[in-house]
Amino acid sequence: MSRIILHIDLNTFFVRIEEIKDPSLVGKPVAIGHEGRGGIISTCSYEARKYGVHSGMPTFQATQLCKYLILKDPDSEYIHLYSNEFFSYLRNFSKKIQVLGCDECFVDITEEFANSKEKNIDKYLKNIQDGLYKKTKLKCSIGVAPTKFLAKMGSDYKKPMGITIIRKKDVEKLLFPLDIKDFYGIGKQTTSKLKALGINTIGELYKICKENPNSNDITPFIKDYVISSLEGKTSDKLDLEYEDPKSIGTTRTLPYNSHNKEEIRKFYIKLVDSIIGKLKKEHQLTKTITLTLKDADCATNFKTKTYSKSLNSYTDNEEKIKTAALSLYDKVFKDQEIRLIGFTVKNLINKHNAVTQMTFDDYMYHEKESETYLLINEINRKFNKEVVKRASDVIKKK
DNA sequence: TCTGGGGTCCTAGGACCC
DNA sequence: TCTGGGGTCCTAGGACCC
């Protein structure tokens, strides 16, 4: 039986918060974003969009396009508050919620709808939408579908305050006429490549993928993604549990472009320290560190380069990570002028599950370096057989 | 005084081991 | 001595999303 998955998206969430705080802003061109070097628009009102302002646009450019643009900094306190209100409201309808950020989520209402007195799905959803508005003054769009992908496409279909149901049989009618840029997962780069091939709509894209399984114009990954997404074969399972991060990192644009190695080094150390702090807070160990540098030269289009280094063991040891981070910096930094610097740790494992996730060699490094947080009994259970086997191999060789 | 910052996932070549 | 394929790890880069 197919599931009933909702994708709920708060419409211009950050702007809406400003409007709630100050209702005189309603109907005016409002944008949220920092002013100054490197500032960009994170979201803006529909009135601002009429002037060509959109999210991701440099702030200075937005103010040029719209002379009377009202610019506000994101209010993190209110964002947090309203985001919590949003999710706690939705928990009245279902406990199965996959959070995707502060302003959107998937909700699985299959059982709840089946057991509800209201049998009309449109009315059921309208009730959720209106109830949210009454309680919080927040506006949302809802997509309903048997898979997460189709639900996501549904919530984008009509904004603000839209409700769009996409059954598998509706895909052709609702999605095929759309421009390929509206395909979730197909971005700017792929869109322009596909348009160069004469593919403009989602329907055309589907047809090409289906009819030319062996052509090399479109990568197998995209082809497969397009077909399975549109045929409703992608996931309908929500990720309800907290998942360990895959990487933790930060990047900062420098106050001004610089090629002063010492000055940038000091800046870099602060970033490294903050990431080590986060790593510990998340109870993770890392085995790979990455340094990011963004070129200040416009001619190279602010090219970003990354430099990675693997450590000889999983660790959250401050000294070890810092030493590696700085030696990587000293190795790769020449005297180039840079705009941005970043530090990321990846290849993470959860400290508490470390034993089950580690290989024998990983463990041997820990043993040598006597990092004692691992439970010896647990290690013995896991590695006993391997220790015996390796020892006997060594003896045989001798 | 001209393009952020947080992530995830995929690809691909080279090294190295079996 | 020559040749090769599979698997895995390391590193760099790119695309995408919010």
pLDDT of residue A164: 98
Q: Which residues does residue A105 pair with via DSSP β-bridges, in sequence order?
A: A8, A99
**Mean pLDDT value across residues A199-212:** 95
pLDDT of residue A371: 45
Residue A19 reports pLDDT greater than 50: yes
Match 């990192």 to its residue by tokens. Answer: A249
Band (pLDDT 50/70/90 cuts) for residue A99 is very high
Higher pLDDT, A365 or A347: A347
Q: Side chain identity at A381, as an amino acid letter?
A: R
Strand nucleotide closest to residue A256 (CA to C1'): B1
- Spanning CA of A152 to C1' of C18, the rounded length in angstroms is 13
- For the question of residue A104 being annotated catalytic, the response is yes
**Mean pLDDT value across residues A351-372:** 66
Residue A374 reports pLDDT greater than 60: no
Strand nucleotide closest to residue A58 (CA to C1'): B3
DSSP assignment string, A319-363: HHHHHHHHHHHHHH--S--EEEEEEEEEEEEEGGGHHHH--HHHH
Band (pLDDT 50/70/90 cuts) for residue A334 is confident
Residue A351 reports pLDDT greater than 70: yes
Average pLDDT along chain A: 91
Band (pLDDT 50/70/90 cuts) for residue A67 is very high
Q: Which residues contact A194 (CB under 8 A, 6 or more apart)?
A: A180, A186, A205, A218
pLDDT of residue A397: 55
pLDDT of residue A9: 97
Q: Which residues contact A45 (CB under 8 A, 6 or more apart)?
A: A12, A15, A19, A25, A28, A29, A30, A31
Total length of chain A: 398
pLDDT digits (tens, 9 = 90+) for A220-244: 889 999 999 999 999 999 999 989 9
pLDDT of residue A214: 78
Residue A263 reports pLDDT greater than 60: yes
pLDDT of residue A14: 97
Band (pLDDT 50/70/90 cuts) for residue A391 is low
Burial class (CB in 10 A: 0-12, 13-18, 19+), A134: exposed
Q: Are A336 and A259 in contact, with CB atoms under 8 Å apart?
A: yes
Q: Which residues contact A118 (CB under 8 A, 6 or more apart)?
A: A124, A127
Strand nucleotide closest to residue A57 (CA to C1'): B3
H or E element, residue A42:
strand A41-44
Task: Give the CA distances from residue A107 to residues A72, A93, A103, A265, in Å, rounded to whole numbers and listed in that order.
Answer: 31, 9, 13, 46
Q: Is the CB of A294 under 7 A from strand C?
A: no
User: What tokens does A122 get?
Assistant: 């449109």
Distance CA A206, CA A210 (A): 6
**Mean pLDDT value across residues A18-30:** 97
Band (pLDDT 50/70/90 cuts) for residue A370 is very low
**Mean pLDDT value across residues A146-170:** 97
Residue numbers 65-94 of A with CB closer than 7 A to any atom of strand B = none
- Spanning CA of A163 to C1' of B7, the rounded length in angstroms is 29
- Spanning CA of A62 to C1' of B10, the rounded length in angstroms is 33
pLDDT digits (tens, 9 = 90+) for A39-52: 999 999 999 999 99
- Spanning CA of A397 to C1' of C1, the rounded length in angstroms is 24
Q: Check A35, A85, A104, A241 and give the catalytic one.
A: A104
Residue numbers 206-265 of A with CB closer than 7 A to any atom of strand B = 219-221, 245-253
Task: Return phi, psi of residue A197, to 5°.
Answer: -85, 0
User: What tokens does A270 get?
Assistant: 């602060």
